[in-house]
Amino acid sequence: MTDLTPSDAEGERVPAMLSGAAVSPGSGMGKAWLVVDLLKAGTRGRRITQHEIAAERTRIETAFGEARCELKDAAVRVEEQFDAALAGIFHAHTMMLDRILSSGELERELDSLVDAEEAVRNVFRGWYEKFLSLKGPAFRQRADDVADLGRRVIRRLQGRDDGAIFAHVPPGRVLVLEHLLPSDVVALSRRGIAAVVVEALAPGSHAALLAREKRIPVVAGPPGVVRRLRTGDELLVDGHRGTVVVSPDAEARLAFRARLETYERAVVRCRGDCHKPALTLDGEHVSVEANLGALDDVALAIDNGADGIGLFRIEQLYLARTIPPTEEELLEELRTVTAPLRGAPVTIRLLDIGGDKPVPFLPLPTETNPSLGRRGVRLLLEYPQLARTQLSALLRLSAEQDVRILVPMITLEEDICAIRALFDSTLGALAIEQRPLFGAMIETPAAALGVATIARHVDFLSVGTNDLTQYTLAAGRDDPAVSQYYVDTHASVLRLLAITITEADGMPITVCGELAGREELIPELLRLGVRSLSMAPELIPAAKEVIRGVRLRGESIGGGARA
Ligand code: PEP
Ligand code: MG
């Protein structure tokens, strides 16, 4: 995890152009704001005097005490919804904190007249490096744990809680950082930042996808970009071309502004008919719905003419917290978020964590290959109480509005049977009159090829082409090194989609991966038989325009999917 510390902005700059990868379109200009890891932080602590030592020691003790309380709260919630063994990890972390506090090392640091922040940073960094030097995955994990604890204590010393990592970024800045997590994107979008420049980020990662949904321009790389930029540098970030201009001259600024205006005008022109239904030239209706990952994007979906929410990713309700939400908290939040939709259908997906979406409060053991490990439904079945909490909240919400429930990362028929049994038993316990529709995501080749066995247990299907692409082309969606293999328009993905549609035998199917919003592919998806697409809200107006130009009758239609 990274955290904010503005670095030194002094020194002359000459105009320069850096070329990286275009991750999220749009353009932004503003002053750079560097994010550096608190533990590695470049800023020097304050020198203190001899008689300040006692006060700094008290500050440290208070920060440790607050960090202990956070860990205790997290342990309680995790034990309620997961299990005691996982909660035990927080107890181990508390013991680690106590051990460091009583080691005498912090006092030695203070005696050398550095302030509390620097003392804590030096001591935790020492422990981190010690663990790192002992080779092996268990020590690597201990090193990461100790680093996280150090950051937790430093944030407390600085008077910030864990949820407020980006609270100090002034609006209009270009954020420059090494890693971007999905939870960071949501926090950033609320800060009104102009753009992001990140050291490395794959376009298929959830952080990238959320940035596109939130319309935050993002450029990844080039390598070493974070070291080359300084807080205060003037930057022009072009998320279409993947370029960053440092210290632009007047001419570069002018050209950039003109491009920005052209882009904004094109977006506005497209909005025109977005609230009307999308009918092909021969009158076939195609439902165009919105994918939502960030809770405050419901308004954006409505604004862009969404016919409903085709994929509501609820991960943010979990990722933005330091402890998991209760059933009541979930229900309340979902109720508030979906209220503006006024009865339009909402497909809410059960929690899909793991892979590139680590959860701060869930210290799962590190996996060698997280994308092929415990993700989505696999984790829900491992911790059934976690699934029950969500199912209860969603079922209760379904009594008030048109909610559909979707299960992520189905691979086997056994997966869908087991989660269906949990759904049925939760429903039975709640005495809800009308059962909501229950669906499965098809996002592994095994699920696509075995769709007939999965379809027996559900009311609808939703094809997640992002994961389907990573598993079909054997290219991690969050690994920029293999981006050239991560091609969601590849014939193999389209072939699996065609098989899914044919073998699902008329069951309603939505396509909800990024592929659904690719204008050039929409006619082909319609010809395959897709009649329901779900995409980032901003893409809806253009997608509707494309659909209105397609003629299907008289052409061979590959399947019968209707949603
Ligand atoms: C997908 O995999 O295509 C999908 C829609 O789910 P997510 O991107 O959240 O994994
Ligand atoms: Mg997926």
Distance CA 234, CA 255 (A): 15
User: C-alpha distances in angstroms, 377 versus 133, 204, 322, 387?
Assistant: 36, 20, 22, 9
Q: Which amino acid type is present at position 313?
A: R
Q: How far is CA 134 from the centre of its chain?
A: 32
536-215-545 Cα angle (round to 5): 45
Return the structure tokens found at 71.
């860990």
Residue nearest to atom 6 of ligand 1 (CA): 464
Residue-wise burial string across 69-92, b where 16 or more C-beta atoms lie within 10 A, e elsewhere: ebbeebbebbbebbeeebbebbee
* DSSP conformation class of 443: -
Architecture of domain 16-35+171-266: 3-Layer(bba) Sandwich (3.50)
Tell the residue number behind the tokens 């609320």, with chain if given.
190
Cβ 341 vs Cβ 309: under 8 Å = yes
Pairing of β 243-246 and β 278-279: unpaired
Within a 13 Å sphere around the CA of 296, how many CA atoms are in the beta-carbon half? 9
pTM for this structure? 0.80
Tell me, yes or no, if the two domains 16-35+171-266 and 50-163 fold the same way: no
* Separation CA 550–CA 244 (nearest Å): 38
| Cβ atoms of 513 and 463 closer than 8 Å | yes
CA of 202 to the centre of ligand 1 (A): 14
Strand-pairing partners, residue 235, are 30, 246
How many angstroms separate the CA atoms of 112 and 531, rounded?
A: 69
- The residue nearest atom 3 of ligand 1, judged by CA position, is 464
Nearest atom in ligand 1 to 515's CA:
3
State residue 162's pLDDT score.
Answer: 53
DSSP state of 551: -
Give the β-pairing of 309-313 and 27-36. Answer: unpaired
| Residue 21 contacts residue 480 (beta carbons within 8 Å) | yes
d(CA 134, ligand 1 centre) in Å = 37
What's the per-residue H, E or C state across 68-118?
HHHHHHHHHHHHHHCCHHHHHHHHHHHHHHHHHHCCCHHHHHHHCCECHHH
Q: Which ligand is nearest to the CA of 533?
A: 1
Q: How far is the CA of 503 from the centre of ligand 1 (A)?
A: 21
If you take atom 10 of ligand 1, which residue's CA is the nearest one? 467
Q: What is the pLDDT of residue 562?
A: 46
Ligand 1 cavity residues, CB under 6 Å: 209, 311, 313, 352, 443, 464-467, 512-513
For residue 275, how many other CB atoms are within 10 A of its CB?
15
> 304-547 has which CATH code?
3.20.20.60
Residue with the nearest Cα to atom 8 of ligand 1? 466
Please state, in angstroms and rounded to a whole number, the distance separating the CA atoms of residues 3 and 177. 9
| 463 Cα–ligand 1 center, Å | 8
**DSSP state letters, 223-239:** TTHHHH--TT-EEEEET
Q: How many CA atoms lie within 13 A of 383 on its CB side?
A: 24
Pocket-testing residue among 352, 532, 533, ligand 1, by greatest number of atoms within 8 A of Cβ? 352
Instruction: Output the tens digit of pLDDT for each of the chain's 563 residues.
Output: 344 343 444 456 778 889 999 999 889 999 999 887 777 765 567 888 999 999 999 999 999 999 999 888 888 888 887 777 778 888 889 999 999 999 999 999 999 999 999 999 999 999 999 998 987 777 887 888 888 899 889 988 988 765 556 777 889 999 999 888 877 787 787 788 999 999 989 988 888 988 988 889 999 988 888 888 999 999 999 998 999 999 999 988 998 888 888 877 766 666 778 999 999 999 999 999 999 987 778 988 999 999 999 999 998 888 777 778 999 999 999 999 999 988 899 999 999 987 666 676 777 777 778 889 989 999 999 999 999 999 999 999 999 999 999 999 999 999 999 999 999 999 999 988 899 999 999 999 999 999 999 999 999 999 999 999 999 999 999 888 999 999 999 999 999 999 999 999 999 999 999 999 999 999 999 999 999 999 999 899 999 999 999 999 875 444 444 44
124 beta partners: none
Closest atom of ligand 1 to 513 CA is: 3
Amino acid at 373: G
> How far apart are the C-alpha atoms of 184 and 166, rounded to whole Å?
8
Cα separation, 438 vs 314, whole angstroms:
16
Phi–psi pair at 8, nearest 5 degrees: -65, 130
Measured in Å, residue 54 CA sits from the centre of ligand 1 at 52
Catalytic (active-site) positions:
206, 512
> Which residue, among 395, 285, 424, has the nearest Cα to 334 in the 3D structure?
395
Cα separation, 114 vs 100, in Å, equals 18
How far is it, in rounded angstroms, from Cα 122 to Cα 105? 9
Q: Confirm or reject CATH 3.20.20.70 for domain 50-163, answering yes or no.
A: no
CB 119 within 8 A of CB 110: yes
Tell me if 473 sits within 8 A of 492, measured CB to CB.
yes
**Buried b / exposed e along 328-351 (16+ C-beta atoms within 10 A):** eebbebbeebbeebeebbbbbbbb
DSSP 431: T
Q: What ranges do the domains of the chain cover?
A: 16-35+171-266, 50-163, 304-547
